[in-house]
Structure 1
Amino acid sequence: MTSELLALLPELFELLAFGVGSLGLSVAGLYIERFAIAVFESGNAKLGAWIALLGAMAFYFAYLMATDKFRPKLASLRRRHAE
């Protein structure tokens, strides 16, 4: 049982890294978007729009990490565990 858990440990660590990375990018995107709104309200529309684009890119990469990396890895681990 212990050897099975040790063999599974790197994959669990990878799954954790993808999950935390996706969550971190989402939180960063939220912070960047709030900052963009503050800059836009202060009167600097061009800079606010640019910062909003950066926040949207952070959300996009969080989505990609969650759908392209996290979900398939989780499905793979579930399949291996069921066998």
Structure 2
Amino acid sequence: MRSSLVDVLPDLLELLVFGLGSAGLSLAGAYIERFAFVTFEQGNVEIAVWAVVMGAVALYFAYNVGTDKVRPKLRDVRAALA
């Protein structure tokens, strides 16, 4: 069934928010991992290990949001507009 764009607008907004959130978490995780690498090179191992864990957590949440929220919502929107 083909829905109008107005009917799908809330789903599109939700898809946009979760997509941007996943992208932002991915960028933050990559930046934190880079910070951890630079910190380790400077010899501050304790902070580097802490940063590696924090970066891994950010990347994990980015993956979770992408697979649990973005992909199913994208499939729903594409089905509604088809």
Question: Where does the alignment leave 5 or more consecutive residues of structure 2 unmatched?
Answer: none
Match of 1:24 in 2: 24
Cα distance in structure 1, aligned partners of 2:26 and 2:53:
14
Equivalences for 1:4-83 in 2 at 5 Å?
4-82=4-82
TM-score, structure 1 as length reference: 0.89
Task: Determine what percentage of the aligned residue pairs are the same residue.
Answer: 55
In structure 1, the gaps of 5 or more residues are none
Q: How far apart, CA to CA, are the structure 1 residues paired with 2:28 and 2:20?
A: 12
Which region of structure 1 is more displaced relative to structure 2, 36-45 or 65-74? 36-45
Counterpart-to-counterpart distance in 2, 1:9 and 1:77: 9
Structure 2: how far apart are the matches of 1:13 and 1:77? 11
SS at match of 2:4: helix
Runs of 4+ in 1 over 2 A off after TM superposition: none
Count of residue correspondences: 80
Asked which structure has the greater RCO (Cα within 8 Å, sep 6+), the reply is 2
CA distance in 1, matches of 2:80, 2:9: 13
